[in-house]
Structure 1
Amino acid sequence: MAVVALSSLFYLLAAWLVMRRLQVQREAGAGSWLLTALAAIMLHALFHVLAWRAGAGVDLHFFSALSLVGLGMAALTTLYAAAGHMGALGVVVFPVAALCLLGDALAGGSSARALGWRLELHAWLALLAYATLAIAALLAMMLWLQERALRRREFHAWLRLLPPLTELESLLFRTIWAGFVLLSATLLTGVLFVHDFFAQHLIHKSVLSALSWLVFGALLLGRWRRGWRGAKAVRLTLVAMALLVLAFFGSKFVLELLLRRV
């Protein structure tokens, strides 16, 4: 629990440092909070490694999967910030990662087992896809808030904390592209490596994941052919992400926490 406490503390400290730096408009060169975030991420990862070594293999029960997605989101946010993009995401993402980690630690492991490299590859691709597309959903919400404020001529102080509208939109679609590729690889490895991919307890997960893939694909095609942007892009991103959350965490919640099936 010491690792969990330290990681959570560093996450919250990093979020506070991000907020403080943004308030004085000094996001560039944010070395202090980046180091703090890296420490939190490393401790977060260490927690999972130690848990897996203590168990029989990779643990991907509901809370563990949620924690790993939070870890992925924190890592992506830190990478974005290191490249000079959207360090403001850390204000939301780092506390979320801390909560996910605490939830996993308090819940305890329940389904650690050896999966084999094929299923592990499928699982890791899925977690990376969810983390990447969750970041895209956050960017979409920020884009919607920014556009709404500008349309209403409400020039709030927080608008200065975001990049220009075109830069934010460009970052959103680059993130969606990355997540779409990962989601495509997830579905492909699922078809190839999961023998009961269309079994009764997985059919709703498979269908919802495929629907999410179709919505993201339609959005990217519409962006390429018709220049879709703004409110349409935001709506489709959030709809696709909602389908993905229902596909993975919705099904795991029902099966593992309600029906007690692993």
Structure 2
Amino acid sequence: MDMLLAIPAVGFYLIALLLVIPGLANNNGIKVTPVFAAACMAIIFHILLLKDLIFAGAGQNLSILNVASLISVIIACLTTVAMLKMRIWFLLPVIYSFAAINLAASALLPGAFITHLEAHPQVLLHISLALFSYSTLTIASLYAIQLAWLDHKLKHKKSLAMNPNIPPLMMVERQLFKIIIVGYALLTVTLLTGYLFINDIIAQGKTHKAILSLIAWCVYSVLLWGHYQQGWRGRRVIWFSLVGAFLLTLAYFGSRFVKEIIIGM
């Protein structure tokens, strides 16, 4: 049953990729409607697959692969909706490829990490906020990579003006900070709910998550202060964005990766 959902999901992600990538390589316009339709179909099958994987049996199976697949479909949903108003074609190949790889891994390499969130709704709220904050700030890190690529092209005097699918540098920077502000707000609430609702947040095995998440929050705080108070732009903004996302990745997946993937092997 899982493969019957995984195969069409991967197939529709590939169709979306094939509709986007040629437009990035030349000056032809990318048609929004076919890309949006293919992506929506992929996301629907992806969500149905996750429903079976996470809610199979008693409790919820939040293995590292299932969580990674869940994060990837959240990112795919957010960016697919965003494509209707913003030129984010440069990001879509990375996002859809990431989603396809994650859903294939979760279907082919099932793991187990059973929880019972129905008994702890406050923990469910905290986890939901954490997923959305991480997804949003991951999108911001992809924007930072796009910003670095555009900046590199402009510094080497390579004109991008003829390609209507590539957004202007200033537009990308403005969008980047809008996304960071949303992700930063979600991360702030995530940290607050963690300390309020999770009694053993600093217990053994969870301390690194709290510390790394707090350090990441400090990184984004400094980044926002530096941009709006000191006028930071360019490489410094890019590096702060990437470092913040890297710290959150270590916080959310570091120990789980070692326990479930490396030791589990």
**TM-score normalized by the length of structure 1:** 0.93
1:179 aligned onto 2:201 = no
Matches within 5 A, 1:80-229: 80-115=82-117, 116-155=120-159, 161-229=165-233
Aligned to 1:233: 237
Matches of 2:228 and 2:60, distance apart in 1: 39
Q: Which amino acid aligns with 1:252?
A: R
1:25 and 1:196 map into 2 onto residues whose CA distance is 55
Task: Tell me whether 36-45 or 146-155 shows the greater mean CA deviation.
Answer: 146-155
Structure number with the higher helix fraction is: 1
Specify the SS of the correspondent of 1:54.
Answer: coil
For the residue of structure 2 that corresponds to 1:221, the secondary structure is helix
SS at match of 2:201: coil
Aligned amino acid, residue 258 of structure 2: V
Partner secondary structure for residue 256 of structure 1: helix
Partner SS state of residue 122, structure 1: helix
Question: Share of identical aligned residues, percent?
Answer: 36
1:191-234: CA deviation from partner (whole Å, max 9, x where unpaired)? 11111100110111111110001001111111111121111100
Decide whether the 8 Å contact of 2:212 with 2:247 is kept in 1.
yes
Contact 1:57 1:113 in 2 (8 A): yes
1:112 deviates by 2.8
For structure 1, the residue ranges without an aligned partner over 5 or more in a row are none
| Matched AA of 2:42 | A
Unaligned runs of 5+ in 2: none
In structure 1, how many angstroms separate the alpha carbons of the residues matched to 2:73 and 2:147? 23
Task: Summarize deviations over 1:125-172 as a string: whole Å, max 9, x none.
Answer: 111111111111111011011111211213369975320010000111
Quick one: which of 61, 64, 68 aligns to 2:63?
61
CA distance in 2, matches of 1:236, 1:84: 24
CA change 1:95–1:157 in 2 (3 A) is farther
Q: Secondary structure at the match of 2:22?
A: helix
The letter of the residue matching 2:159 is F
The answer to whether the Cα contact below 8 Å between 2:27 and 2:163 also exists between their aligned partners in 1 is no
- CA distance in 2 between counterparts of 1:53 and 1:252 reads 20
Shift of the alpha carbon at 1:259? 4.6
- CA distance in structure 2 between the aligned counterparts of 1:56 and 1:221, rounded to whole angstroms: 46
Q: Partners in 2 of 1:209 and 1:42 — Cα distance? A: 31
TM-score of the pair, normalised by structure 2: 0.92
Match of 2:247 in 1: 243
Q: 1:65 to 1:153 in 2, by over 3 A?
A: same
Change (3 A) 1:101 1:148: same
Counterparts of 2:162 and 2:254, CA distance in 1: 33
- The aligned counterpart of 2:54 is 52
Quick one: distance in 2 between partners of 1:207 and 1:229? 27
Cα–Cα, structure 1 residues 109 and 158, in superposed 2: closer, same or farther, change >3 Å?
A: farther
Shift of 1:256: 2.7
**Superposition RMSD on alpha carbons, in Å?**
1.8
Greater CA drift, 140-149 or 153-162:
153-162
Q: Which residue matches 2:19?
A: 17
C-alpha separation between the residues in 1 aligned to 2:89 and 2:82?
7
Which one-letter code corresponds to 1:25 in the other structure? N
Give the total of aligned pairs.
259
